[in-house]
Structures are given as structure tokens and as C-alpha cells.
């Protein structure tokens, strides 16, 4: 059956300004909600990035040494022995500089696949833009680090004790992404990497893990493990245990470190499960996520109330007209359809305008805040959401309209 | 007359309670969200030291190699190298000046058995307290001679003094910082300008708590105390004495210049110094890259408002606009529906302006109610902002001016929103409407 467009359009013409305002409101809501939704999805993806570690089995304890004359290497051995002896600890290792994925303590370096590339990078004071060179984040620690962090060795071997105790970096293990980037299609094991401490052999390759800070390099998985273990009087230990044991193991570890060796500070905020480290790193994103979600829902809510409120008024205003239409043979279905179609048209105009606005807003955000381009499929999704919302909001008033008895139309006054 | 209109307005609003509540809620939400974010922006961009911001200046030089590419990490030339800072300190003639850097130290309790705690403070030169007008509760700062001799003297912040001694009257007593005993020469009253304009801004240090101690920069250098803040180096330097290297920036400097003449003189001095270093071959960049920033310009240059806060502000304002459009539409529908009533009043002799005033009152009433609700919501919003871990979050408080601004914004917004519908309604032709009735 053909939609009764003519009476609807003529009714809308009576409320040109109101209908235009509602259209504008829908358009603005549409534009903001589409962009907010896009930001929302981006943040969720960011927060969900896997670190590559066995996250739910890890906890971290930091001890700050106070005695600068202490023998750090001996202390580390004693500490590790004590930690590994704890009930529930499956593996433990010292992590140099407290540097872990998402820990924010970053140690970066540049290296190249050949000496010539490195010389060029050095002359340019920058590894960016030099072919065959890349900057990466470095991790290092004591023996047992691979096992404690749950790193998977894809090729080659772990470092030897001699390599760890050397004064310089004498061996490195690269992440898969880094290997792909430096030597595409080849195995990195046995290759030489040219960096600030001369050429170093690559002895292994691990599955990807994240950098301590995201978004500063070309890829967050450009990571290298270096062999040299720098024991320092302030140290960070990572413990691996069953997920449910983490809290207990962490506190037991802090107590054990407190007893072992000279006076040290083990602050409360130096005892964290890896989940806390992750939560902490993404704190701002989580806040923004909540804000975006809350404001999108509030916007949709206000718009739905606006649509509903106006429809209610129109129903009240047109009671007599509705009665007359009913009296001359319009069914309840026709009345319902009238209000639904009217809403469909208003929201439709708003959505078309809104999609244009959404695109414009995205352009503005891209320029101001270096955001990505809005994928086009967000536009129809946003349109569908608003259309559904409009139909839902108008349903109540429209149903009320269908209950207007035909007799109203014949009554005077 | 206004009282009568207000009564009419109240009656009209009470006739449609759901609609009224809806409009008040919408404006309240919009105002609450935007005032929360405007207040955050306000505290982030306020003048941290109104009594002196007009006479404080931040000099910068650009000792970077000409091919150095600055990255997103910030510009190393925003801080000074040790040789340059010392030369400016010696050769410049401002009214007052100080060079400074932040640092963290272990502070030991009085009883030897206790554990130390970590505190943040400032290593600086002797005029620091006069330069910024830091109030001292007891004692005073130290002297130029103390700087020269690397004297082991310290000014404690009030909180740290209370924590260590349970009293602030502790001048002359001794305190152990890291592994060295220091003589206390003064105790500073709480002094915590926000933003913390004088520190190495950025990286979460721009807002936050007061310094716990102040001690001579020369002493900290001599004892190799740890420096906090950015250290940017662009050449391979001697590892032994990195801090004194001419190719590493890490120091902040502030000068007080009281007259335009002094400002002009200092600007020339800074340019001449850069030109001289350029001529000697140490600086590769044009001497014109030397700058003297007035305090507020410096804060603007350092862009203290994170982009996420800006984004949140725009989101809130967008929300307010949608709420306002919503209200205009609802009021329009409501006012136009009362064509009969307006027509009768017009026929009885009311002028169009009377109608405008009457309906304007109704809009304003909604505005006031929305403003009150918005202020409450903004307080809630700020409370939730204060629970964020960021440095700026803790100072997100609404002051009297922001409070008034939010109520004013609410009324203004609804009045504007009510004006179009009221104006439309006031133009209703009386004759037509009466005929319909």
C-alpha cells in the first residue's frame, strides 16, 4: 500500500520550524554519536591489545636499595633464590630498570641490519627514515626471564650465563616483527645487528610482545632482549604463579625481600599484579571510554525524549483531526502509520544531514587531534540506530493517537 | 507585572509536569557536562601567580645542532644547559633570577631505626624565594655565598617539617637527605601555584603537590643527587660529568624584569649572548632563536591542556548544543499550541511585547531550574574528575566565579532558546485564533 505521504507532508508544513529543529537535533546527535562510537571502538581495541606475556600469572615486586655500597649482583642471586623457594612461585626473574610491556619505563635504541646503514643513521643522528634501520625498545634481565614472563622462543636459543655476565651486550634476541622488518623472509638467528655497541649476533627470536610505551615507534612490537644483566641495588622482580595465587605470592615475596639482605624500601605501590600494571597504563583510556559511552547514551536519551515529547504534543494537538480521519474511514493502523512515517521522514532528513556532519566532524578531529579517518560503514550504523530510536520514541504517542475515538471528530468544540 | 507573569509561567509549567521535568533535565545535563569541562580547562589555564606573572620571564636559547629534528617528546631547547644557565646567571642583570631543576631524595626520619621516605623538591639558586615571593614560616633562604660554597643547607616545606619534627620551628636543626646531613635554614609556608609554572612542564609534572624541600643547586651537583625532569642530550658526552655538558639541556631559569626598559635590555642581552656563542661556533642556529617568554606566553607555549581534555570539552559543548536545540523545539511546540490563549490575551489588549515577556519568563524559569540542577551535576562531575589519577584532576574545584558563570550560562542559554519560540508565539494574529476558539 502507498504511504499516505501527502497528508503527512502537509501536516509537517504546519510545524516547519519545530520539525526543522528536531531534524537539526537528530543531525547533531547523529554526528556526535557516530564519531564518539568510532573513538570508543578505537579505545576498546587499544585497551585490548595483548602484551604477549602470560598476563594473568604475573606479579611484580620492586625493592629500592638504600645502601649504595652493597654488592648488587650477589644480592640479586640471594633474592632470586629466596623468591624461587616460595610456595606457589613457578618462576622468578629480575627485570632491569623495571622495564616490562606497558610499564612506561622505556629503554630504546636504534640498530641497523648492516654497518653501512648504521653509519648513515649515525650521521643523520636518527634511525628513522634510514633503510635497514629501526628503533626498538630493549628489555633485559636475569636468567629465567623467558620462563618467568612466558615468552615463547620461536627460533634459536636463550642467552648463556657468560653472555649475561659480560660487560657489554654480546647477544640479542629479537621479536618476530623486528626480525621481519630487518630481514624480511629470512631467519634472524645467526645474523648480526649493528648498533651503538658494535655488531652483536642475534641468537634467538621470540613471539611478539609489546613495548613499555605504545605508539612511539613504527610498530609497538619492535622489541629486542639484550643479554647483559645489570644488577642494581634497586631491583624489580617478576613472579609467575597460578592466577589465583598472585596476591598471596606477591605479598610473600615482598616479605621475603624485606628479610633478605640490607635495608630496602618495598613500597606498597611497588607490589603489583600485571593486571594492575595494565589497568594503570590504560587508566586514561578507560576514563575516556566511560565518558564517551555516558555522553553518547545521554545524547541518544535526550533526543529520544525530545522526539517522544514533540510527538506527544502533536498527538494532543491533532486529536480532532485524528477523530475526523477515523470517522471518514481511516483504520487505527493508518493512524499509527501516519505518525511512524512522519517520524521516519524527520529522522531521515536528520540522519542524512547528520552523516554529512559526522564526516565533517571527523575531518576536524583528524586535523586537530591526529585521529584516524572514520570508516564509512559507521555512517549507516549510526543512521540505523537513530531511525530505530526514533520509531521507538514515537511508538507511545502514536499508539495513544490510535485510541482516539472517531466520535471526537464529530463533536464540536 | 513580572510577578504576575512568573505566576502564569509556574501554572503553565505545572500543567505539563513531564515536559517541564524533561526540559529542566536536558538543560541541567548539558550545563553540568559543559561546566565540568570548562572548570577543568579553567584551572588548567589560570594564572598561577597573579601577583607576579607580569614581571616573570623565561629565557630560552637554542644550542641544538642545525640538523637536529625535534620529535613528539618535546623540544630540548625549552631547557638550558649548565654552561649557558651559569653564564646567564653571571652576566645578566635582572632584578632577581634563579636557575632550578627538580629532584627526588630519600629523607631519613630522626630515629636511626626508621625507614626513609622519598620526597620531591627543587635544587635552585639563592634568589628563588624572593623571585617568586615564596612565604617562609620560619628562617629564610640561603645566600649567594652558600651557593658558591656548596653549603649543605635546606629549606623544608611545611608538610615535611611537620612530618619529621611535628613542628615548623626547626631552623638550625639537622636533617638527613639521601646520605648527607643538611642544616635547616628555613621552613616554607604552603606554596603551591597551579599550574606549577616553574618546573620542567609536561609529563604529568605540570600540576600537583608542593615541593617538600629546596636546596642549593651547586650542592646537589656536588653530591650528585638525582635529577627529575627531562634531560635531553644530542652529542656523545663524557659520562662522568653529563650534567655539566654543553650538549645536554635540563635546567629551568626564571628572571624578574620590572619595567619595559629592563625587558628590552634583557632581550638584547640574551640575543647578544646567543650571537656571541654563534660566532664562537658553539651554537649552530640563528641567534634570533633565543627567546624571552612572559610567564603566560610560556604556559601557552608548553600547551598544558592535554588533547583528551580538549576533546572532552568539545564533547560536552556538543552535548549542550543538542540539549538546547531540544529545548527550543519543545518550547516552540508548547508555546505555539497556546495560540488560543495568546489570541485572547492579544484581543484583550496585550501587546506583542507583553506576550514575549510572559513567555520569556516561562523560559527563564526553566533556565534557572536547569542551572541549579546543572551546578549540582557539575559538582558531581568535578568530584568524579578529582578521582582521576592525573595531576590536574586534584585541583578541579569550582570557584565562585565559575559557579556564577554556570548559573548565568544556564539562564542565558534557555533565554536564548526560549526567545525564538516566544517571539514566534507573540506574532500570532489575534483575530484568527479567536475565530478558531
Q: pLDDT (tens digit, 9 = 90+) per residue, B46-92?
A: 888 999 889 999 999 988 888 777 766 678 889 999 999 999 999 98
**Hey, are the CB atoms on A305 and B29 less than 8 Å from each other?**
no
The C-alpha cell at B345 is 490575551
Q: How far is B150 from chain A (nearest CA, A)?
A: 22
Give the list of residues 6+ apart from residue A223 with CB closer than 8 angstroms, or none. Answer: A136, A137, A138, A139, A174, A175, A177, A178, A208, A209, A210, A211
- Beta carbons of A284 and B316 less than 8 Å apart: no
Asked if A343 and A312 count as a contact pair (C-beta separation under 8 A), the reply is: no
Disruptive mutation site among B73, B318, B377 for chain A (greatest number of A CBs within 10 Å): B318
CB contact under 8 A, B67 and A314: no
Cβ-contact A318, A11 below 8 angstroms: yes
- The beta-carbon neighbor of B332 closest among A17, A28, A369 is A17
In chain B, what residues touch A29 (CB-CB under 8 Å)? 322
What gap in Å lies between CA B79 and CA A386, rounded to an integer?
52
Say how far residue B286 (Cα) sits from the centre of its chain.
33
Percentage of chain A with pLDDT > 70?
95
Which candidate in B72, B117, B325 is best for mutational testing of the A interface (most A CBs within 10 A)?
B325
Q: Is the CB of A218 inside 8 Å of chain B's CB atoms? A: no
- Across the interface, whether the CB atoms of B311 and A369 are under 8 A apart is answered yes
Q: Is A28 on the interface with B (CB under 8 A)?
A: yes
Question: Cα(B292)–Cα(B285) distance, rounded to whole angstroms?
Answer: 16
How far apart are the CA of B168 and the nearest CA of chain A, in angstroms? 27
Unique residue bearing C-alpha cell 540506530: A385
**Predicted pLDDT of residue A1:** 43
Q: Is the Cβ–Cβ distance between B200 and B230 less than 8 Å?
A: yes
Does residue A18 belong to the interface with chain B, where contact is any CB pair within 8 Å? yes
- Closest Cα partner for A413 from B308, B340, B105? B340
Amino acid A58: pLDDT? 94
* Antiparallel, parallel or unpaired: β B180-188 and B136-139: antiparallel
The segments of chain A whose pLDDT lies below 50 read 1-2, 413
Contact of B295 with chain A, judged by CB distance below 8 Å, is answered with no
pLDDT, averaged across chain B: 86
Which of B 87-106 lie inside 8 A of A, CB atoms? Answer: 106
Which helix (H) or strand (E) is B123 found in, with range? Answer: strand B117-124
Nearest residue on chain A to B435, judged by CA atoms? A413
In this prediction, what percent of chain B has a pLDDT beyond 90?
30
Between A126, A292, A310, which is nearest B333 by CB? Answer: A310
* Residues B206 and B196: beta-carbon distance below 8 Å: yes
In the three-class reduction of DSSP (H, G, I as helix; E, B as strand; rest coil), residue B15 is classed as: helix
3-state secondary structure of A296: helix
d(CA B156, CA B160) in angstroms, rounded, equals 6
Q: Which of residues 153-212 of A touch B (CB under 8 A)?
A: none
Cα angle B80, B86, B91 (rounded to 5 degrees) comes to 115
Start-to-end CA distance of chain A, whole Å, equals 34
Residue among B311, B312, B385, B396 with most chain A CBs within 10 A, to mutate: B311
Q: Cα angle vertex A217, ends A214, A223, to 5°?
A: 80
Which positions in chain B touch A314 (Cβ < 8 Å)?
Answer: 333
C-alpha span between A7 and A217 (Å, rounded): 61
CA B356 from chain centre, in angstroms, equals 42
Q: What Cα–Cα distance (Å) separates residue B264 from each residue in A5, B52, B57, B130?
A: 74, 18, 12, 22
CB spacing of A306 vs B326 below 8 angstroms? yes
Task: Provide the 3-class DSSP secondary structure of residue B384.
Answer: helix
Judge whether B274 and B61 are in contact, CB under 8 Å. yes
Which residues from chain B sit within 8 angstroms of residue A292, using beta carbons? 315
Size of interface A-B (CB pairs under 8 A): 102
Distance CA A291, CA B381 (A): 11
Under DSSP, is residue A253 helix (H, G, I), strand (E, B) or coil? helix
A126 with B69: Cβ contact below 8 A: yes
Would you call B337 and A287 a contact, using CB atoms and an 8 Å cutoff? no
User: DSSP class of residue B395?
Assistant: G
Q: Is B100 helix (H, G, I), strand (E, B) or coil?
A: strand
Give A192's strand partners: A201
Half-sphere exposure of A235 (CA within 13 A, CB side): 33
Widest CA span in chain A: 104
Q: Does A24 touch chain B (CB under 8 A)?
A: yes
pLDDT value for A413: 44
State the Rg of chain B over Cα: 30
Instruction: Collapse the DSSP code of B138 into the 3-class scheme (helix H, G, I; strand E, B; otherwise coil) and give the result.
Output: strand
- Chain A residue with CA closest to B326: the answer is A306
C-alpha grid cell, residue A12: 509537517
Q: Which of A304, A100, A135, A92 is nearest to A222 (CA)?
A: A135
**Which of A190, A187, A148, A185 has the alpha carbon at shortest distance from A172?**
A190
CA distances from A7 to A3, A14, B93 (A): 10, 11, 84
CB-based contact, B310 to chain A, within 8 Å: yes
- Mapping DSSP onto H, E and C, the string for B322-369 reads HHHHHHHHHHHHHHHHCHHHHHHHHHCCCCHHHHHHHHHHHHHHHHHH
B120 vs B100: CA distance, rounded Å: 13
Coil, helix or strand for A139?
Answer: strand
A17–B72 CB contact, under 8 Å: no
Q: Say yes or no: A372 contacts chain B, CB-CB below 8 A.
A: no
Contacts of B37 (CB under 8 A, 6+ apart): B309, B312, B313, B315, B316, B317
Q: Residue A397 is inside which H or E element, if any?
A: helix A378-402
Q: What is the secondary structure of A209-244 as a DSSP string?
A: ---SSSSSSS-TT-EEEES-----SSEEEEEEE-GG
Write down the residue that cell numbers 594564572 correspond to. Answer: B47
Which of B167, B192, B197, B175 lies closest to B57, judged by CA? B197
Contacts of A258 in chain B (CB under 8 A): none
Nearest to A295 among B68, B315, B388 (CB): B315
Q: Name which of B17, B68, B329, B392 to mutate to probe chain A: the one with the most chain A Cβ atoms within 10 A of its Cβ.
A: B329
Closest CA to A151 of A91, A101, A220, A206: A206
DSSP A4-38: -HHHHHHHHHHTHHHHHHHHHHHHHHHHHHHHHHH
pLDDT digits (tens, 9 = 90+) for B271-318: 999 999 989 888 888 888 899 999 999 998 888 888 888 888 888 888
Interface mutation vs chain A, best among B315, B331, B339, most A CBs within 10 Å: B315
**A17: buried, middle or exposed (CB in 10 Å: 19+, 13-18, 0-12)?**
middle
Question: Counting beta carbons within 10 angstroms of the beta carbon of residue B301, is it exposed (0 to 12), middle (13 to 18) or buried (19 or more)?
Answer: middle
Grid cell digits, residue A40? 570508543
**Nearest of A39, A66, A49 to residue A375 by alpha carbon:** A39
Shortest CA distance from A297: residue in chain B: B319
**B325 shares contact with chain A (CB less than 8 Å):** yes
Selecting from A29, A291, A317 the residue whose C-beta is nearest the C-beta of B322 gives A29
Peptide bond into B18 cis (omega under 30): no
Tell me if B326 and A17 make a contact (CB, 8 A cut-off).
no
Does the beta-carbon distance from A316 to B67 stay under 8 Å? Answer: no
Instruction: For residue B65, give how far its alpha carbon lies from the nearest alpha carbon of chain A (Å).
Output: 10
Cα angle for residues A75, A78, A79 (degrees, 5° grid): 85
First to last CA, chain B: 27
DSSP output for B178-200: TTEEEEEEEEEPP---SS-TTS-
Q: Is A318 left (phi over 0), alpha (psi -120 to 50) or beta?
A: alpha
Task: List, for chain B, all residue ranges whose pLDDT scores fall below the cut of 70.
Answer: 71-73, 203, 236-240, 430-437
Task: Identify the pLDDT of residue B241.
Answer: 77
| pLDDT of res. B239 | 60
Q: What is the CA radius of gyration of chain A?
A: 32
Contact between B138 and B186 under an 8 Å Cβ cutoff? The reply is: yes
Q: For residue B68, list chain A residues with Cβ-Cβ distance below 8 A.
A: 125
Angle between helices B307-337 and B17-45 (to 10 degrees): 150
The gap from C-alpha A367 to its chain's centroid, in whole angstroms, comes to 21
Phi, psi of B51 (to 5 degrees): -70, -25
Report chain A residues whose CB lies below 8 A from the CB of B65.
125
Q: Judge whether A377 is closer than 8 Å to chain B, CB to CB.
A: no
Residue of B nearest to A39 (CA): B311
Amino acid at each position: 500500500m502507498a504511504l499516505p505521504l501527502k497528508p503527512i507532508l502537509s501536516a509537517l508544513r504546519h510545524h516547519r520550524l519545530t520539525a526543522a529543529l528536531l531534524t537539526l537535533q537528530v543531525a547533531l546527535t547523529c554526528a556526535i554519536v557516530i564519531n564518539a562510537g568510532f573513538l570508543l571502538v578505537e579505545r576498546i581495541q587499544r585497551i585490548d591489545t595483548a602484551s604477549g606475556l602470560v598476563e594473568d600469572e604475573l606479579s611484580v615486586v620492586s625493592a629500592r636499595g638504600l645502601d649504595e655500597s652493597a654488592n648488587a649482583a650477589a644480592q640479586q642471586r640471594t633474592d632470586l633464590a629466596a623468591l624461587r623457594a616460595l610456595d606457589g612461585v613457578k618462576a622468578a626473574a629480575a627485570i632491569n630498570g623495571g622495564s616490562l610491556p606497558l610499564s612506561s619505563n622505556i629503554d630504546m635504541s636504534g640498530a641497523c641490519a648492516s654497518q653501512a646503514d648504521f653509519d648513515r643513521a649515525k650521521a643523520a643522528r636518527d634511525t628513522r627514515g634510514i633503510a635497514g634501520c629501526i628503533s626498538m625498545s630493549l628489555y633485559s634481565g636475569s636468567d629465567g626471564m623467558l620462563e618467568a614472563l612466558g615468552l615463547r622462543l620461536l627460533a634459536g636459543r636463550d642467552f648463556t650465563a657468560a653472555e649475561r655476565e659480560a660487560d657489554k651486550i654480546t647477544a640479542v634476541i629479537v621479536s618476530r616483527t623486528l626480525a621481519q622488518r630487518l630481514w624480511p623472509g629470512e631467519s634472524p638467528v645467526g645474523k648480526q645487528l649493528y648498533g651503538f655497541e658494535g655488531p652483536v649476533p642475534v641468537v634467538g627470536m621470540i613471539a611478539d610482545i609489546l613495548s613499555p610505551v605504545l605508539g612511539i615507534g613504527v610498530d609497538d612490537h619492535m622489541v629486542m632482549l639484550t643479554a647483559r644483566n645489570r644488577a642494581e641495588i634497586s631491583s624489580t622482580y617478576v613472579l609467575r604463579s597460578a592466577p589465583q595465587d598472585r596476591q598471596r605470592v606477591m605479598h610473600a615475596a615482598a616479605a621475603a625481600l624485606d628479610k633478605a639482605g640490607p635495608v630496602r624500601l618495598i613500597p606498597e605501590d611497588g607490589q603489583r599484579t600485571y593486571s594492575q600494571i595494565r589497568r594503570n597504563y590504560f587508566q586514561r583510556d578507560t576514563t575516556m571510554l566511560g565518558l564517551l559511552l555516558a555522553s553518547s547514551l545521554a545524547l541518544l536519551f535526550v533526543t529520544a525524549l525530545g522526539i517522544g515529547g514533540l510527538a506527544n504534543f502533536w498527538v494532543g494537538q491533532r486529536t480532532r483531526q485524528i477523530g475526523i480521519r477515523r470517522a471518514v474511514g481511516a483504520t487505527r493502523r493508518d493512524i499509527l502509520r501516519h505518525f511512524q512515517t512522519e517520524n521516519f521522514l524527520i529522522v531521515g532528513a536528520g540522519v542524512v544531514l547528520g552523516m554529512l556532519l559526522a564526516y565533517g566532524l571527523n575531518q576536524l578531529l583528524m586535523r586537530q587531534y591526529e585521529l584516524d579517518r572514520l570508516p564509512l560503514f559507521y555512517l549507516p550504523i549510526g543512521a540505523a540506530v537513530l531511525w530505530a530510536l526514533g520509531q521507538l520514541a514515537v511508538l507511545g504517542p502514536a499508539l495513544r493517537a490510535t485510541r482516539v475515538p472517531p466520535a471526537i471528530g464529530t463533536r464540536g468544540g | 507585572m513580572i510577578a504576575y507573569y512568573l505566576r502564569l509561567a509556574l501554572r503553565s509549567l505545572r500543567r505539563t509536569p513531564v515536559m517541564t521535568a524533561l526540559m529542566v533535565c536536558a538543560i541541567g545535563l548539558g550545563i553540568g557536562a559543559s561546566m565540568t569541562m570548562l572548570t577543568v580547562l579553567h584551572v588548567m589555564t589560570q594564572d598561577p601567580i597573579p601577583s607576579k606573572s607580569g614581571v616573570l620571564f623565561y629565557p630560552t636559547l637554542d644550542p641544538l645542532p642545525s640538523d637536529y629534528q625535534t620529535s613528539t617528546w618535546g623540544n630540548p631547547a625549552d631547557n638550558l644547559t649548565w654552561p649557558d644557565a651559569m653564564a646567564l646567571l653571571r652576566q645578566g642583570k635582572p632584578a632577581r633570577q634563579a636557575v632550578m631543576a627538580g629532584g627526588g631524595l630519600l629523607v631519613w626520619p630522626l630515629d636511626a631505626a626508621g625507614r626513609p621516605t622519598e620526597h620531591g623538591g627543587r635544587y635552585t639558586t639563592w634568589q628563588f624565594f624572593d623571585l617568586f615571593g615564596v612565604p617562609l614560616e620560619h628562617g629564610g633562604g640561603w645566600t649567594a655565598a652558600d651557593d658558591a660554597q656548596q653549603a649543605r643547607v635546606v629549606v623544608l616545606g611545611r608538610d615535611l617539617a611537620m612530618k619529621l619534627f611535628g613542628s615548623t620551628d626547626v631552623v638550625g636543626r639537622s636533617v638527613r637527605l639521601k646520605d648527607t646531613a643538611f642544616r635547616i635554614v628555613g621552613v616554607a609556608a604552603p606554596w603551591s601555584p597551579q599550574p606549577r609554572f616553574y618546573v620542567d612542564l609536561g609529563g604529568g609534572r605540570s600540576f600537583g603537590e608542593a615541593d617538600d624541600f629546596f636546596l642549593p643547586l651547586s650542592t646537589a651537583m656536588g653530591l650528585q643527587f638525582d635529577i627529575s625532569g627531562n634531560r635531553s642530550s644530542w652529542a656523545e658526552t663524557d659520562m662522568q660529568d653529563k650534567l655539566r655538558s654543553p650538549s645536554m639541556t635540563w635546567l629551568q631559569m626564571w628572571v624578574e624584569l620590572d619595567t619595559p626598559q629592563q625587558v628590552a635590555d634583557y632581550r638584547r642581552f640574551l640575543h647578544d649572548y646567543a650571537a656571541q656563542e654563534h660566532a664562537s661556533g658553539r651554537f649552530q642556529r640563528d641567534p634570533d632563536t633565543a627567546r624571552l617568554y612572559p610567564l603566560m606566553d610560556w604556559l601557552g607555549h608548553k600547551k598544558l591542556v592535554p588533547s583528551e581534555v580538549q576533546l572532552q570539552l568539545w564533547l560536552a559543548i556538543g552535548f549542550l548544543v543538542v540539549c538546547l536545540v531540544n529545548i527550543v523545539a519543545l518550547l516552540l511546540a508548547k508555546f505555539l499550541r497556546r495560540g488560543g490563549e495568546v489570541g485572547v490575551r492579544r484581543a484583550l489588549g496585550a501587546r506583542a511585547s507583553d506576550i514575549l515577556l510572559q513567555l520569556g519568563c516561562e523560559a527563564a524559569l526553566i533556565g534557572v531550574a536547569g542551572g541549579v540542577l546543572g551546578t549540582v551535576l557539575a559538582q558531581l562531575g568535578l568530584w568524579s574528575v578529582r578521582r582521576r589519577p592525573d595531576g590536574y584532576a586534584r585541583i578541579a574545584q569550582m570557584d565562585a566565579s565559575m559557579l556564577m558563570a554556570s548559573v548565568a550560562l544556564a539562564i542565558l542559554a534557555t533565554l536564548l532558546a526560549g526567545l525564538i519560540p516566544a517571539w514566534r508565539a507573540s506574532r500570532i494574529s489575534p483575530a484568527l485564533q479567536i475565530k478558531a476558539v
